[in-house]
């Protein structure tokens, strides 16, 4: 098995690598981002407080998924929000993103979640194809189906 497909839960020791990956992800899409050290500090803080769960692919890390759990309103279970999924460009197309997603879904179920949601850009067709192949829906293009929108606002 390709070592990059070995998925594990990140620990505080991984915060620097995770911070760098998240920084690179935002820079790739020209999104504003704190520097890698600030990202690492925030990741370390949130992991320690059990506010996020992070999975990493490979050693050294070449991919990451960041999950947040919250109580569900419509059931007694948890909901899981996939906050981030990123694979280093040179490692894409090898199934690492799929392995991270499958591990994320498995972990969410194990943690008691019965729902997972996420957002992605319209132009990120590779990510959209991955999510749809795993059963995520946005209903876009489905006759009679409503389109789901994801909104955000700085406060």
Note the pLDDT tens digit of each residue in 30-66: 889 999 999 999 999 999 999 999 999 999 999 999 9
Q: Which of 44, 53, 65, 46 minimizes the C-alpha distance to 110?
A: 53
* Prediction pTM value: 0.91
pLDDT tens digits, residue range 68-115?
A: 999 999 899 999 999 999 999 999 999 999 999 999 999 999 999 999
Query: Strands 63-71, 78-87: parallel, antiparallel or unpaired by DSSP?
Result: antiparallel
pLDDT tens digits, residue range 5-26?
A: 899 999 999 999 999 999 999 9
| Strands (DSSP E) found in 5-152 | 7-9, 53-57, 63-71, 78-87, 113-118
């Amino acid at each position: 098995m390709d070592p990059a497909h070995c998925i594990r839960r990140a620990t505080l020791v991984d915060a620097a690598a995770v911070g760098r990956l998240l920084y690179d992800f935002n820079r790739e899409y020209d999104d504003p981002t704190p520097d890698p050290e600030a990202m690492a500090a925030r990741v370390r803080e949130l992991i320690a407080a059990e506010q996020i769960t992070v999975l990493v692919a490979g050693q050294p890390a070449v991919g990451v998924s960041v999950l947040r759990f919250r109580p569900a309103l419509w059931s007694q279970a948890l909901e899981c929000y996939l906050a981030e999924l990123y694979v280093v460009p040179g490692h894409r197309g090898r199934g690492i993103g799929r392995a991270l997603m499958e591990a994320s879904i498995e972990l969410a179920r194990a943690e008691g979640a019965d729902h997972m949601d996420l957002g992605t850009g319209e132009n990120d067709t590779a990510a959209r194809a991955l999510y749809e192949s795993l059963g995520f829906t946005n209903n876009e293009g489905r006759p009679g189906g409503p389109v789901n929108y994801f909104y955000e606002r700085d406060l």
